[in-house]
C-alpha cells in the first residue's frame, strides 16, 4: 500500500511555491508520492480566462520531471466536463483500491468545503492535508460544516509560508517583468517560447 498525496490545481503557471509545498507535505506526512493533477475545466473558475490546458499540463510536467516522487496525471485535462473533486478522487480509488489518498487543499477552500459538490462523499474517500491561513485556529475551518456528516480525517500542515502566486506571476509577465526565481527555468523558457501571459 502506498500513501499518495493528490495535489490538484489550475497551475497557471506552476511555480516554486507549489513545488515547495509538495516537498514539505512529502516529508511531514511520510508520503510515498505526490500526484499533481492540473485542472481541465475547474468548476470554480468557469467565468475566468484560464490558459489552455495543454500548456498548463506541459508546464507541470517540466516542473516535476526531476523529482522521482512527483508524478503528473492528465485525468482532468483529458475530460471535457467540469471536474469535481469527488469524481477525480473516486477515479484514483478505483484504480488503486489498496492505496491511501491524501487530498492537499488550501485553508480557504477547505473552509468552504461544505459548498463543494457531493462533499459528504468526498469526506469518505480520503484524508485531508489542509494548508492553513495565518491567524485562523483549526476549529475555524469547520464553522460551515453541518455537524451531522462523518468527521473528515484532517491534518494541518505546519510552518509553510510562500509569497509566490500564479496571479502575481501572470501580472508581472504581462507587464514585461522577469519572473526568474519564482518558476523553474524550464517553465520560464516554456512561457517565453510559447508567448504566454503577454
Q: What is the 3-state secondary structure (H, E, C) of the chain?
A: CCEEEEEEECCCCCCHHHHHHHHHHHHHCCCCEEEEEECCECHHHCCCCCCCHHHHHHHHHHHHCCCCCEEECCHHHHCCCECCHHHHHHHHHHHCCCCEEEEEEEHHHHHCHHHCCCHHHHHCCCEEEEECCCCCCHHHHHCCCCCCCCCCEEEECCCCCCCCCHHHHHHHHHCCCCCECCECHHHHHHHHHCCCCC
Is a pLDDT exceeding 70 seen at residue 43? no
pLDDT at 152: 94
Q: Look at residue 47 in the predicted model and tell me its pLDDT.
A: 60
Percentage of the chain modeled with pLDDT above 70: 97
- Sorting pLDDT into bands at 50, 70 and 90, what band is 80? confident
pTM for this predicted structure:
0.94
pLDDT band at 123 (very low <50, low <70, confident <90, very high): very high
- pLDDT for 41 equals 72
Structural domains in the chain, CATH included, are: 3-163 (3.40.50.620)
The answer on pLDDT for 181 being more than 90 is yes
Mean pLDDT, range 159-185, rounded to an integer: 94
The predicted structure's pLDDT at residue 161: 86
Amino acid at each position: 500500500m502506498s500513501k499518495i498525496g493528490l495535489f490538484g490545481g489550475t497551475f497557471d503557471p506552476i511555480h516554486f511555491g507549489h513545488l515547495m509545498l509538495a516537498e514539505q507535505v512529502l516529508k511531514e506526512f511520510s508520503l510515498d508520492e505526490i500526484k499533481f493533477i492540473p485542472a481541465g475545466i475547474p468548476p470554480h473558475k468557469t467565468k475566468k480566462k484560464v490558459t489552455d490546458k495543454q500548456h498548463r499540463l506541459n508546464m507541470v510536467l517540466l516542473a516535476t520531471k526531476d523529482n522521482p516522487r512527483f508524478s503528473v496525471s492528465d485525468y482532468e485535462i483529458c475530460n471535457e466536463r467540469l471536474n469535481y473533486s469527488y469524481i477525480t478522487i473516486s477515479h484514483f480509488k478505483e484504480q488503486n483500491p489498496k492505496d491511501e489518498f491524501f487530498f492537499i487543499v488550501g485553508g480557504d477552500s477547505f473552509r468552504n468545503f461544505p459548498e463543494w459538490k457531493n462533499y459528504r462523499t468526498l469526506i469518505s474517500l480520503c484524508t485531508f492535508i489542509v494548508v492553513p491561513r495565518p491567524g485562523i485556529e483549526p476549529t475555524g475551518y469547520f464553522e460551515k460544516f453541518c455537524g451531522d456528516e462523518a468527521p473528515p480525517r484532517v491534518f494541518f500542515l505546519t510552518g509553510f509560508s510562500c509569497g509566490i502566486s500564479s496571479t502575481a506571476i501572470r501580472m508581472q509577465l504581462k507587464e514585461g517583468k522577469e519572473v526568474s526565481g519564482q518558476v523553474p527555468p524550464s517553465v520560464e523558457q516554456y512561457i517565453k517560447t510559447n508567448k504566454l501571459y503577454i
